[in-house]
Amino acid sequence: MNWEMIGALGELLGAAAVVGTVFYLAHEVREASQEAQRARWSDLQNEISRVVQSWSDNSDLSNIVFRGFTDRDSLRPEEAFRFYSNLYPWFRAWETLFEYSEEGRLEEWRAQGTSMTMRDVLGFPGMRKYWADRRHWYSLAFQAEVDRLLVDAQPANLGAYMQSE
């Protein structure tokens, strides 16, 4: 074996090492991207859960939110303010999830679950009223998505919250 052959073999091994490194880095970047996606999803789900949990932890707020969902017009002005104030971070989290979904940074099954939850909640009269009053606070793309969901929106299992006779 002469020096030219040894040099060529070295270059070939070097090139193989570079290609292997590129594939390894691509794999690591993909894994990091998926982990970041899971973290974003978790953070936003935690925000949505925090809002909902606050409704159930405080009986006064729970009463306001339930009446707000079912009959927004029954709320006194200060109650309507609390109701809308509690919906704002919830809708912002939904908007962010929608944006992640549109950018392809959210797995399809997660986006579908979020859309179905939104559609059910948007069926409540008070949610329709909130949306009519505050839709201009949100991006045009999110407005179009919520409007699309409103077409088929029906309150899910309202009877589950009513007293049995």
CA contacts within 13 A on the Cβ side of 79: 17
Q: Are 141 and 98 in contact (CB under 8 A)?
A: yes
- Note the pTM of the prediction, 2 decimals: 0.69
DSSP letters for 86-146: HHHHHHHHHHHHHHHHHTT-S-HHHHHHHHHHHHHHHTSHHHHHHHHHHGGGS-HHHHHHH
The Cα 43–Cα 22 span in angstroms is 31
Confidence of residue 110 (pLDDT cuts 50, 70, 90): low
Q: Which two tokens stand for residue 53?
A: 């949990």
| Highest averaged pLDDT of the listed ranges 40-44, 72-76, 156-160 | 72-76
Average pLDDT score over residue span 102-116: 70
Q: Are 154 and 111 in contact (CB under 8 A)?
A: no
Q: Is the pLDDT of residue 140 over 90?
A: yes
